Chain A
């Protein structure tokens, strides 16, 4: 199926453990994004990527690492999870060149709980 898929959808981990959230899109969109959603904070951009091998920090990048070796994949790694990283994480993609408007297409979200 075409679209953007995230895995896992739900994850419980412990403080200090490494966690990787996966994101895969089938549209060949150049841009991909990771957001976290927390009550009272709306959506906050963690990292984004304009193309394979090009990544940049967003608003709240500390404690996270990303990579983009292939256009379709954009994994987000929490190197040493902390309780403050308990959140719902959304991956999104967009095409922002030429006549495209920059509309975002979101995955279903990954709910992460850090104990």
Chain B
């Protein structure tokens, strides 16, 4: 069975601070990995994804994530957050034969101006 663990439930940062959100997954095979973002009052949308190749992937709005296979991790990073990054962030994994994604519980990021 797939499972995803996000270590931080709520993160509060000041503008220009650096961000790293942890994500670890459990799955006994090849996976595709995703970070989704949900801005207040909106639906989830894709931030970035990894499915093969360079383990450092870049997404929209300056976000990036690194897939470390040996650690079963896919941490999200941003060097300098903005107030507009205030949102909830979800890590998700899909096994190559699973068809359905499993989500972490989400991390609420609050950026203070």
Contact = CB atoms under 8 A, between A and B. Distances in A.
Contacts of A84: none
B48 to A, nearest CB: 10
User: For the side of the interface on A, what is the size category?
Assistant: 20 to 34
Nearest to A50: B99
A103 B106 contact: no
B46 interface: yes
Nearest to A33: B100
Contact of B100 (A48, A90, A106): A48
A48 B99 contact: yes
B45 interface: yes
B43 A106 contact: yes
Interface in A85-115: 90, 92, 94, 96, 101-104, 106-109
Contacts of B105: 40-42
Interface string B99-110: 111111110000
A31 interface: yes
Contact of B101 (A40, A104, A108, A109): A104
A60 interface: no
Given A90-B43, A102-B94, A107-B43, A45 B49 contact: no
B100 A45 contact: yes
Contacts of B90: 42-43
A22 B85 CA distance: 31
A73 B2 CA distance: 27
Contacts of A50: 99
Contacts of A102: 32, 94, 99, 101
A75 interface: no
Interface of A: 31, 33, 35, 40-43, 45, 48, 50, 58, 90, 92, 94, 96, 101-104, 106-109
18 contacts: A33-B101, A40-B105, A41-B105, A42-B103, A42-B104, A42-B106, A43-B103, A50-B99, A90-B43, A94-B101, A101-B94, A102-B99, A103-B46, A104-B34, A104-B36, A104-B46, A106-B44, A106-B45
